[in-house]
Amino acid sequence: MATETDTTETLWITDAELIRRSGVPEKIMRQNLHEFDAKPNLGFPQKSKVFGSRRYWPAVKAYFDKINRLNQQDTRKSA
């Protein structure tokens, strides 16, 4: 039986798990995933056939962090 910790530590995730982790309503996130898959040049991690058509969660999280500028240092200068 999987625990909460086991689920959050899973590296290769299905789209259903990605949607659950994102907290975005399913209808909205499925539409976004469809667009991401149709436009791989957007940089969103694609599914890996080798791992059962799952996405690598750390790459998905890094993508979301990047587009939300979470990992960028503050470039404003002190006054």
CA distances from 57 to 2, 52, 75 (A): 17, 14, 28
In whole angstroms, give the CA distance from residue 26 to residue 18: 10
| Domain range summary for the chain, segments of one domain joined by + | 10-67
- Residue 5 amino acid letter: T
For the stretch 55-67, pLDDT in tens is 999 999 999 999 9
pLDDT confidence of residue 35: 97
Helices (H) and strands (E) in the chain, counts: 4, 2
For the stretch 28-46, pLDDT in tens is 999 999 999 999 999 999 9
Question: DSSP letter at 24?
Answer: S
